[in-house]
């Protein structure tokens, strides 16, 4: 089941990428990621927070505290100038990697998941996120990404039936992509936007495959939320009179960024899905 979820989510993400590149290039793909962002937050947090009244006081306090931490992190990221988006991308990467359990088998109590995630995130942060722009650093770092990808592929080939092989292969793919598209490449935001969209699609594919997931009400909720986001984005993008206020919704400096960073932060609270812990460590 988990392999099919991962494959379906990757196929959906690739379809969105292909359509966006055909219609408007990498910029359009970034815009698609933004349009898909708010529905994912709304749908995901509706499921997440509906449990809130039933939680213990301690658990409620923990979630509210994490929301506060998330808001503080958003302000810090927003105030980081040119490093703001790269910092957000790196932070979101861990959100994406944590929830890979939705599409991959658990790997030895998350140990393999952790070290492969550290390797992939290090390559992404240094080479492709935009935190580093110095060619003198990027050059050797790209060589390190290629070497790391080769080592991970060798490790996966040695134990092809290992539960952690999927994490090794994905980490190798991330490092290879970073070596090909570094922070000075004109299309460098394809990598973080692909990770963002893949996270959305992984979540939807998992929900669809879960017991009770294929319900008309859930499908209608997902379609309606995404249709509303598309309509609002068109009104905002074409500067329709009376809809200038939507910049406070779709602009990263306002609702989109604030809600996303808070969402990623309170999602670190331990929770169970099908009996599987979704934390990285």
Domains held by the chain: number: 1
What number is the average pLDDT over the span 93-105? 88
The answer on pLDDT for 15 being more than 70 is: yes
Backbone angles phi, psi at 276, to 5 degrees: -105, 130
Instruction: Quote the domain boundaries for residue 261.
Output: 2-277
* Confidence category of residue 1, pLDDT binned at 50, 70, 90: low
Residues in the chain: 281
> How many percent of the chain have pLDDT more than 70?
91
CA-closest candidate to residue 174, choices 132, 139, 123: 123
State the DSSP H helix or E strand holding residue 6, giving kind and residue range, or none if neither. helix 2-49
Q: Which two tokens stand for residue 130?
A: 């935009």
- CA-nearest of 199, 237, 257 to 9 is 199
Q: What is the percent of the chain where pLDDT is above 90?
A: 65
pLDDT given for residue 84 in this prediction? 96
């Amino acid at each position: 089941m988990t392999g099919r979820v991962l494959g379906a989510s990757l196929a959906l993400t690739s379809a969105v990428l292909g359509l966006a590149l055909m219609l408007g290039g990498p910029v359009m793909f970034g815009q698609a990621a933004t349009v898909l962002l708010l529905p994912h937050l709304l749908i995901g947090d509706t499921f997440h927070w509906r449990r809130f009244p039933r939680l213990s006081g301690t658990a409620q306090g923990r979630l509210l505290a994490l929301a506060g931490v998330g808001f503080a992190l958003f302000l810090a990221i927003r105030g980081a100038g040119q490093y703001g988006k790269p910092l957000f991308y790196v932070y979101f990467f861990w959100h994406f990697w944590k929830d890979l359990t939705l599409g991959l088998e658990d790997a030895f109590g998350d140990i393999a998941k952790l070290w492969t995630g550290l390797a992939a995130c290090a390559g992404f942060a240094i080479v492709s996120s935009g935190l580093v722009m110095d060619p003198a650093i990027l050059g050797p770092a790209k060589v390190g990404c290629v070497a790391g990808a080769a080592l991970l592929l060798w490790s996966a080939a040695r134990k092809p039936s290992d539960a952690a092989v999927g994490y090794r292969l994905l980490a190798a793919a991330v490092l290879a992509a970073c070596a090909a598209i570094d922070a000075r490449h004109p299309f460098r935001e394809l990598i973080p936007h692909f990770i963002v969209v893949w996270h959305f699609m992984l979540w939807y594919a998992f929900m669809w495959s879960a017991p009770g997931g294929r319900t008309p009400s859930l499908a209608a909720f997902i379609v309606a939320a995404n249709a509303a986001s598309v309509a609002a984005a068109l009104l905002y993008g074409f500067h329709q009179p009376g809809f200038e206020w939507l910049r406070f919704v779709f602009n990263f400096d306002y609702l989109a960024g604030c809600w996303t960073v808070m969402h990623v932060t309170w999602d670190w609270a331990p929770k169970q899905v099908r009996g599987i812990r979704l934390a990285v460590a």
